[in-house]
Amino acid sequence: MEVTVLLGALVFIALASYFFGERPSSKKSSTRSPKVGKGQYGAKRSTVKRATRNGTKTKTDHREVLGSTEIDDDGLATFTISFGQQEESSRNRKTGRWIDPGEQIEIAGHTTKDGNFYFGGRLSATNEFGSEASLIDETLKVEKATCRESDHSLGYWPKYNRLSPKCRGAYLDWLSSTRNDPNTPIGYVFLYFYGLERRIVVDSVESNQVGDEDFKGIAKEIRRLLDVYGKNPAFRNYAFRLLEWMKLLRPKQVSISSDEVSEHNLRLLFSIHAGKLVAAGQPIPSQMAYVWLNFTDFIPRTPARRCRREFRKLFSKLFSDQFADGLKIKPNKTVVQPSYRPASGSLLHTTLDETRVPDPTALKSVANKLIKIADQASEKLDSYSRYLGKEGNSRDDIEAVLLLPEEIADSSSSDLISSFSGWAEKVIAENQGLVSFQELWAQLSDTPTEKVNKKEVVVLQGVLDRTGFGIAPDPRFHHAKPQPTGNVVLFSGGHKQLEEPSDTFNEVGMALRLGAMVAKIDDHVHEAEVNVLENLINNRSELTEPGKASLHAYLTWRLNSPQNSASLKKQIENLSQDGKHGISKILVSVALADGRISPDEIKQMEKLYTSLGLDKALVSSDIHGLTTARAPESPAASTSPKAVGFELNESVLALHESETKDVQSILGSIFKESDDEESTVTEPEPAKEDLPVDDDHGLDPAHRKLFEKLITQEKWSRTELESMCNGLGLMVDGALETINDWSFEVLEEPVLEDDGDIYVMLDVAEDIAQTVKE
């Protein structure tokens, strides 16, 4: 006897724990007929077939005695699990009826005006066990109480005739109020919900007593209850299941969004919708494909969970890229079997036999295609997700925006990106793109920068590439970087379509730099001098249009920035005499571009020659040589007031073929090398802190073994983790913390995520392994 009683107690405790413990909703919501007798928390009602003395069996026993245990005459123990007390008998013979909203009813001193409940003495449960749970019998005793009060009689499957007088008073207090107190025990809300449920499942179908307006009114009331009590997972689940069923019964009277279908796993509704499309030969669009993903075996990795909005956009984009016209599916033989499992213990489950459409969600081949696309989206969002996973980082950070995959960059651009584009267009239109670096940086950050290092350059390049603009100087193409106190030049198109600089690009770039140095000798840049340099860009057919745009911006920047000849001097000093001679011709040609050269300019040229390691005595001979190289065609031409001007690619470099090629080669090599001093954008990497001294790179042997076991798969249940920890003598929470602390020391981000189940960031684990190895 003691053993039997103990066993009964243990079963009772286990079931009670199952009923009241919060459980996550199922990943896969079956569309097949569920078993009869489930309650509102997803728990199964315990129904036990009793064995009689002569060995025959009686019908299922639904007695409602809390935790009772009986021993039959033949020694067999019978346990009956219930919540609440015995139904209270009543002599009320009035047939129960539905009270519509607006009808005023007086019950034990409580006046209700909003209706939506059954009232009377007799209304049988459809499962033939007792009366309707929500029926309010006015003859039963009621005590005064507030809607927040309750006792054990409220139970798990509440019934009005099983409530204590106090709980009846509390329930009636809630019914006579606005029914929106969030602190009301959820049992009262369920009791009220049972009435709405019966009205839909029974009355609207069997006797057609519910008109369309009343039907819509009940849907609206369920929505209102969700607004107040939807945080309770059990109520939220059953409320949406009822709305789903209502949508199937009368599609025009109920609205459910695709987001709700996805979020609340309304697989039945989705399967029928998808089945109808498939049966009609229509493709599945990207929006439906994303919802479908929820009904597959896809296990969301960290990017999909942390960046749900971006993941959805990216999944839809990748799906559309692969299936431009949608995914076409052949009808399969498996059909949808619509059924509804009620929350109320008074109702039987019901089915819709007339709805016979294919159930494409049963197709593994389609599921595998969707999972593959989802995995690709997770992979592309990995860097973005890691950034957001670090403390203090936000989606609005410019660094976060730049980490978004290109496929969704435009649709996910921040306000900062949009405002930057408008500002850049205005600068280009009004000032040829010329702007101070600090003004440019102010568009991206509230904090001025004193240095332009790798981080700042990467941010600038990312924003410009994202918005379709370019900047000069750009270290990738101009071998120089912006200075925090200097100017920059913006231009449309940018460098995104420009490949690695060609030899011609580098050659012209160097000529522009030298020409800009000469043009600025007298502190005044003449228009003719600018034309000479611009023609050098425009007349080179080998240059692409993006390349020309970049060089024009570079020229504007050089003409509006201080000149630094220190690095040039070292490179020119190493040139041959022919090379130096070719460079000197370029300098003089720019000086003569305005058609004249003053004695002061000659003196400045001599200083420039000297600073560049050239013989200043060459200045006069070079000037003479170039001014006589092209004799005037006629006396009229010689007396013309028009400025002479020289085109570098024709006059300066056309001495003879071999010299031209030599000079071109020299210009290209100097351009790539001479600006090293200006182009330094790298920063010394901070020395990594030493890991804790240990043979296993910072983890003791036990934690190391646990870590090596965990990284063999992406997801572990907490039970599995507890088993592993027990075998190693570790505590679960402490082990998780220790491993993540170690991960932070090595890579500055966690490798494990506790979300009920334990998720392993396998990509982070790979990076850790590589870092430790190095």
Mean pLDDT of the chain: 78
- Lowest mean pLDDT: which of 488-502, 632-646, 729-743? 632-646
Residue 108 has pLDDT above 60, yes or no: yes
| Nearest in space to 730 (alpha carbons), one of 759, 701, 692, 690 | 701
Measured CA to CA, the distance from residue 579 to residue 662 in angstroms comes to 7
DSSP character for 25? P
Instruction: With beta carbons less than 8 A apart as the criterion, state whether 553 and 490 touch.
Output: yes
What tens digit of pLDDT does each residue of 49-81 get?
A: 333 323 333 333 333 333 333 444 444 444 444
Give the Cα separation of 191 and 136 in Å (integer).
10
- Residues with Cβ within 8 Å of 757's Cβ and at least 6 positions away in sequence, in order, are 715, 716, 717, 718
pLDDT of residue 773: 65
Confidence of residue 697 (pLDDT cuts 50, 70, 90): low
Q: What is the pTM of this model?
A: 0.60
Cα angle 740, 742, 746; round to 5: 115
pLDDT at 335: 92
pLDDT-derived band at 412 (thresholds 50, 70, 90) equals low
Task: Name the pLDDT band for 594 (thresholds 50, 70, 90).
Answer: low
Please compute the mean of the pLDDT values over residues 24-40 and round it to a whole number: 37
Does 665 or 456 have the greater pLDDT score?
456
| Other Cβ atoms closer than 10 A to 36 | 15
Give 491's contacts (C-beta < 8 A, 6+ positions apart).
428, 433, 469, 470, 471, 472, 549, 550, 552, 553
Model confidence over 520-558: pLDDT tens digits?
776 777 788 788 888 889 988 889 999 999 999 999 999
- Cα of 146 vs its chain's centroid, Å: 45
pLDDT for res 198: 97
Q: pLDDT (tens digit, 9 = 90+) per residue, 114-164?
A: 999 999 999 999 987 789 999 999 999 999 999 999 999 998 889 999 999
Query: Percentage of residues in the chain with pLDDT exceeding 70?
Result: 75
From 291, 175, 194, select the one nearest 235 (Cα to Cα): 194
What is the mean predicted confidence (pLDDT) over 181-194? 97
Q: How confident is the model at residue 658 (pLDDT cuts 50, 70, 90)?
A: very low
At 620 the pLDDT is 80
Phi and psi dihedrals of 598, rounded to 5? -90, 165
Better pLDDT: 70 or 457: 457
Residue 174 structure tokens: 């809630």
When mean pLDDT is compared across 364-373, 548-557, 578-587, 602-611, the lowest value belongs to 578-587
- For residue range 304-328, list pLDDT tens digits in order: 999 999 999 999 999 999 999 999 9
- What amino acid occupies position 660? T
pLDDT of 185 strictly over 70: yes
Q: DSSP alpha helices (H): ranges in 337-414?
A: 364-380, 382-389, 398-403, 406-409
What's the residue count for the chain? 774
Q: What gap in Å lies between CA 341 and CA 38, rounded to an integer?
A: 7
Of 386 and 579, more confident: 386
Residues 248-263, mean pLDDT to the nearest whole number: 93
What H or E segment, with its residue span, contains residue 351?
strand 350-351
